[in-house]
């Protein structure tokens, strides 16, 4: 019986993907790397250190270590979220919906825990979740299922009892690999990506989820 829901965070609960893109470009420019918006999308869903490692291996910059660049990016994103981070459409609705159904609720994100904490405080939703997990503490980040499996264990839920909400292909792959029923809410420019057909359900907004959608997932 499905009785658990686990959410991704960036791009699903908070409109942070544009802020991530700006922060990446700002910090990478300090080491002579000019990332276009298109290039920055290549690493969407990965852990920050993996994003930095990916581009460091490609551009071989000098002057700042990958660890320093990673820290600066996270600091930059946190500052931007606190200053201008907005909830995604339907955030309050979807959290209230599953709370009213008595679902166990968790969060599984690729972001570092200190950024997760900043977002949850900014949106005032920390108390909604019974478990909050960051992939920074796992051996592997998304698309590996580790962070989803860890969150499910913390909720005392079998992965087959969980619905995972995601916005990226990387995150969807992680949730599917964890054997969870998966709902994707892609960004508008990504909605026609055929890879999302692997999900159990695709929505344009969190507001579209309702009793009939839940029934389709649990029948």
Q: What is the pLDDT of residues 46-95, one digit of tens each?
A: 889 999 999 999 899 998 999 999 999 999 999 999 999 999 999 999 99
Out of 42, 69, 84, pick the residue that ends a domain. 84
Question: Is 186 found in the same domain as 103?
Answer: yes
Please say if 10 is a catalytic residue. Answer: yes
Catalytic residue among 3, 8, 193, 211: 8
Question: Is 207 found in the same domain as 127?
Answer: yes
Out of 39, 58, 84, pick the residue that ends a domain. 84
Question: Is 190 found in the same domain as 101?
Answer: yes
Question: Is 122 found in the same domain as 102?
Answer: yes
What is d(CA 214, CA 200) in angstroms, rounded to the nearest whole number? 11
What is d(CA 165, CA 218) in angstroms, rounded to the nearest whole number? 15
CATH of the domain at 175: 3.40.50.1000
Instruction: Please identify every stretch of the chain with a pLDDT value under 70, giving residue numbers as ranges.
Output: none
pLDDT of residue 41: 75
Question: Is 198 found in the same domain as 169?
Answer: yes
Question: Is 28 found in the same domain as 68?
Answer: yes
Number of domains forming the structure of the chain:
2
Please say if 158 is a catalytic residue. Answer: no
Q: What residues make up the domain containing 55?
A: 17-84
Question: Is 94 found in the same domain as 44?
Answer: no
CATH of the domain at 65: 1.10.150.240
Question: Is 102 found in the same domain as 61?
Answer: no
Question: Is 115 found in the same domain as 195?
Answer: yes
pLDDT of residue 191: 93
Out of 40, 61, 84, pick the residue that ends a domain. 84
**With a threshold of 0.85, does the pTM exceed it?**
yes
Catalytic residue among 3, 10, 139, 193: 10
Instruction: For 56-197, list the strands marked E by DSSP.
Output: 104-109, 131-134, 162-166, 181-184
Question: Is 177 found in the same domain as 103?
Answer: yes
Question: Is 123 found in the same domain as 105?
Answer: yes
Question: Is 111 found in the same domain as 190?
Answer: yes
Q: Write the CB contacts of 160 (distance below 8 Å, at least 6 apart in sequence).
A: 179, 180
Instruction: Report whether 88 contacts 209 (CB < 8 A).
Output: no
Give the sheet arrangement for strand 4-7, strand by strand. 131-134, 104-109, 4-7, 162-166, 181-184, 201-202
pLDDT of residue 170: 93
What is the CB neighbour count within 10 angstroms for residue 32?
10
Q: Write the CB contacts of 118 (distance below 8 Å, at least 6 apart in sequence).
A: 78, 81, 82
Specify the residue for token string 């904490």. 117
């Amino acid at each position: 019986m499905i009785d658990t829901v686990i959410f991704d965070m960036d791009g699903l609960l908070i409109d942070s993907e544009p802020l991530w893109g700006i922060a990446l470009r700002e910090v990478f420019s300090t080491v002579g790397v000019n990332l276009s918006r298109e290039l920055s999308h290549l690493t969407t869903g990965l852990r920050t250190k993996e994003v930095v490692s990916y581009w460091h291996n490609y551009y071989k910059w000098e002057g700042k270590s990958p660890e320093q660049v990673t820290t600066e990016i996270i600091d930059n994103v946190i500052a931007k979220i606190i200053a201008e981070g907005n909830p995604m459409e339907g955030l309050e609705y979807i959290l209230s919906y599953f709370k009213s159904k008595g679902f166990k609720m968790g969060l599984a994100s690729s972001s570092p825990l200190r950024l997760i904490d900043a977002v949850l405080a900014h949106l005032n939703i920390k108390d909604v979740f019974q478990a909050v997990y960051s992939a920074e503490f796992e051996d592997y980040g998304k698309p590996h299922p580790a962070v989803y499996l860890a969150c499910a264990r913390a909720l005392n839920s079998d992965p087959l009892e969980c619905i995972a909400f995601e916005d990226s292909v990387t995150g969807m792959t992680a949730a599917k690999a964890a054997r969870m029923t998966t709902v994707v809410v892609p960004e508008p420019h990504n909605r026609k990506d055929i890879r999302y057909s692997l999900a159990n359900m695709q929505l344009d907004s969190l507001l579209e989820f309702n009793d009939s959608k839940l029934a389709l997932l649990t029948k």
